[in-house]
Chains A and B, each alone.
Chain A
Amino acid sequence: MASQECVDARDPVVDIPNPGMEGAPVPNGGKTCPVHIPGGEDTKRGFRKGIGRHNDYVKISVPDFKVSPLPMEWWKTIMAFFYAGFNLVLTTVVITVVHERVPPKESSPPLPDKFFDYIDRVNWAFTVTEINGMVLLAIWMIQLFFFRYKSIAIRRFFFLIGTLYLYRCVTMYITTLPVPGMHMTCAPKLHGDSHAKIQRILQLISGGGLSITNSHLLCGDFLYSGHTVMLTLTYLFIKEYSPRSFWWYHLMCWLLSAVGVVCILVAHEHYSVDVVVAYFITSRLFWWYHTMANLQILKCSPNNYLTNTWWNPLFNFLERNVQTAVPCSYSWPITCPPACLKNPCKKYSMVQSTREE
Chain B
Amino acid sequence: MKKVEQWSAEDVSDWLSKEGMPEYQDALHQTDGPALLRLTEADFRNPPLSLLSCDGGQQIMERVKTLQIENHMVAHKNGHTNGHVVGLPNGTSKPLNGTMGRKDLRMEMVHIHIPTAEASRSSFPTEWRKTGAAFCYAVVCFVTTTIVISVVHERVPSKEHTPPLPDKFFDLFNRVEWAFSICEINGVLLVGLWLVQWILLKHRSIIGRRFFFIVGTLYLYRCITMYITTLPVPGMHFKCSPKLLGNWEAQMRRVLKMIAGGGLTITGAHDMCGDYLYSGHTVMLTLTYLFIKEYSPKRFWYYHWFCWTLSAVGIFCILLAHDHYTVDVVVAYFITTRLFWWYHTMANQQSLKETSQGNPFSRVWWYRPFQYFEENVSGIVPRNYQLPFSWRGLNWSRGVKYSRLDLQ
Interface residues of A (CB under 8 A from B): 7-8, 10-11, 13-15, 22-30, 33, 36, 53-56, 59, 61, 101-103, 107-109, 111-115, 170-171, 173-178, 223, 244, 271-274, 276-277, 280-281, 284, 286-288, 290-291, 294-298, 300-301, 303-306, 308-309, 325, 348-355
**Contact between chains at A287 and B229 (CB < 8 Å):** no
Contact B358 A295 (CB under 8 A): yes
Main SS class of interface, A: loop
Q: How far is the CA of A184 from the CA of B359 in the complex (A)?
A: 43
Q: Which residues does chain B contribute within 8 Å of A59, judged by CB atoms?
A: 19-20
Q: Which residues of B contact A29 (CB under 8 A)?
A: 403-404
CB distance from A137 to the nearest CB of B (A): 22
Apart from A7-B22, A175-B327, A348-B358, what are 7 other A-B pairs with CB-CB below 8 Å?
A: A13-B20, A55-B69, A111-B229, A173-B168, A174-B325, A174-B327, A325-B358
Residues of B within 8 A of A8 (CB): 20, 22
Taking the nearest CB of chain A, how far is it from the CB of B320, in angstroms? 15
> Is A351 in contact with B23, judged by CB distance below 8 angstroms?
yes
User: Contact flags (1/0) for B320-343 with A, using CB distance below 8 Å?
Assistant: 000001111011001101101110
Q: B168 near A23 (CB under 8 angstroms)?
A: no
Contact A27 B404 (CB under 8 A): yes
Known: A107-B163, A111-B157. A304 touches B20 (CB 8 A): no
Q: Does A61 contact B20, Cβ atoms closer than 8 Å?
A: yes
CA distance in complex: A298, B358 (Å): 12
Tell me which of B58-66, B132-140, B202-210 binds A.
Answer: B58-66
Mark contacts of B59-87 with chain A using CB atoms, 8 A cut-off: 1 yes-contact digit, 0 otherwise: 10010011001000000000000001001
8 Å CB contact of B162 from A56, A61, A111: A111
**What's the Cα separation between A30 and B405 when bound, in Å?**
13
- Cβ of B368 under 8 Å from chain A: no
Complex CA gap A36/B53 in Å reads 12
The chain B residue with its CB closest to the CB of A355 is: B23
- What's the nearest-Cβ distance from chain A to residue B297, in Å? 15
Q: How far is the CA of A104 from the CA of B55 in the complex (A)?
A: 61
Tell me the minimal C-beta distance from B253 to chain A in angstroms: 24
Instruction: Determine the distance from Cα of A356 to Cα of B86 in the docked complex, in whole angstroms.
Output: 36
The docked-state distance in angstroms from the alpha carbon of A34 to that of B277 is 38
Q: Which of B259-267, B309-317, B348-356, B370-378 contacts A (4 or more CB under 8 A)?
A: B348-356
Binds A, one of B4-12, B24-32, B390-398: B24-32
A108-B162, A176-B166, A277-B225 known; A353+B349 contact, CB < 8 A = no
* Residue in chain B with minimal CB distance to A274: B229
Which residues of B sit under 8 angstroms from A355, Cβ to Cβ? 22-23
Which residue of A is nearest B65, CB measured? A55
25 contacts between A and B (CB under 8 A): A10-B20, A11-B21, A13-B19, A13-B20, A15-B62, A24-B407, A27-B55, A30-B403, A36-B54, A54-B87, A55-B69, A61-B18, A103-B163, A108-B163, A171-B327, A171-B331, A175-B325, A176-B165, A178-B165, A272-B228, A280-B335, A281-B334, A303-B348, A354-B24, A354-B26
Q: What are the residues of chain B within 8 A of A33 when measuring CB–CB?
A: 54
Q: How far is the CA of A348 from the CA of B357 in the complex (A)?
A: 5
Query: Would you call B364 an interface residue if the criterion is a C-beta within 8 Å of the partner chain's C-beta atoms?
Result: yes
Given A33-B54, A170-B330, A223-B327 in contact, is the A272-B167 Cβ separation under 8 Å? no
Q: Is B361 an interface residue (CB 8 A)?
A: yes
Q: Are A305 and B48 in contact (CB under 8 A)?
A: no
Question: What are the residues of chain B within 8 A of A301 when measuring CB–CB?
Answer: 348-349
Which residues of chain A are within 8 angstroms of B115 by Cβ–Cβ distance? 25
| Chain B hits for A102, CB < 8 A | 166
| A interface footprint on B27-41 (CB within 8 Å = 1, 0 otherwise) | 100000000000000
> Is B224 among interface residues, defined by CB-CB distance under 8 A?
yes
Asked if A297 meets B54 with Cβ closer than 8 Å, knowing A25-B115, A111-B231, A115-B228, the reply is yes
Set of chain A residues within 8 Å of B156, measured between Cβ atoms: 112
Q: Is the CB of B228 within 8 A of A13?
A: no
- Nearest A-chain residue to B328, judged by Cβ: A175
User: Are A273 and B228 in contact, CB atoms less than 8 angstroms apart?
Assistant: yes
Asked if residues A22 and B228 are in contact (CB atoms below 8 Å), the reply is no
What chain B residues lie within 8 Å of A281 (beta carbons)? 334
| Assembly CA distance A325 to B52 (angstroms) | 12
Flag if A114 contacts B227 (CB, 8 Å).
yes
B359 and A354 within 8 A (CB): no
- Tell me whether A112 and B155 are in contact (CB under 8 A): yes
Are A350 and B228 CB-contacts (below 8 A) given A13-B19, A36-B54, A273-B277? Answer: no
Residues of the B chain whose Cβ atoms lie less than 8 Å from the Cβ of A23: 403, 406-407
Bound-state CA distance A50–B359 (Å) is 38
B29 nearest in chain A by CB position: A354
Binary flags per residue of B161-174, CB closer than 8 Å to A gives 1, else 0: 11101111100000
Question: Are the CB atoms of B54 and A27 closer together than 8 Å?
Answer: yes
CB distance from A303 to the nearest CB of B (A): 5
Beta-carbon contact of A55 and B229 below 8 Å: no
Q: In the complex, what distance in Å separates the CA atom of A271 from the CA atom of B157? A: 16
Is there an interface contact between B52 and A15, defined as CB atoms closer than 8 Å?
no
Assess whether B229 is in contact with A171, with CB atoms less than 8 Å apart.
no
Q: Cβ of B280 < 8 Å from any Cβ of A? A: no
A53 CB contacts on chain B under 8 angstroms: 62, 87
User: Considering the chains assembled together, what is the distance between the CA atoms of A9 and B155 in angstroms?
Assistant: 62
Assembly CA distance A272 to B341 (angstroms): 27
A105 shortest CB reach to chain B, Å: 11
Complex Cα spacing A33 to B277, Å: 40
Question: What residue of chain A has the Cβ atom nearest to residue B380's Cβ?
Answer: A303
Select B331's contact among A277, A284, A353, beta carbons within 8 Å: A277
Write the chain B residue with the least CB distance to A21: B403
Nearest-CB residue, chain A, relative to B116: A25
Q: Which residues of chain A have C-beta atoms less than 8 A from B155's C-beta?
A: 112
Pairwise interchain contact B357-A244, C-beta atoms closer than 8 A: yes
Closest chain-B Cβ to A204's Cβ sits at a distance in Å of 21
B97 an interface residue at 8 Å Cβ cutoff?
no
Report yes or no: B230 in contact with A111, Cβ–Cβ below 8 A.
yes
- Whether A15 contacts B165 by the Cβ 8 Å rule is no
B240 at the interface (CB under 8 A from A): no
**Are A13 and B59 neighbours in the complex by a CB distance under 8 Å?**
yes
Which residues from A are CB-within-8-Å of B157? 109, 111-112
Which 9 pairs across A and B sit closest by C-beta, in order of nearness? A348-B357, A11-B20, A349-B358, A305-B341, A272-B228, A175-B327, A273-B229, A174-B326, A354-B23
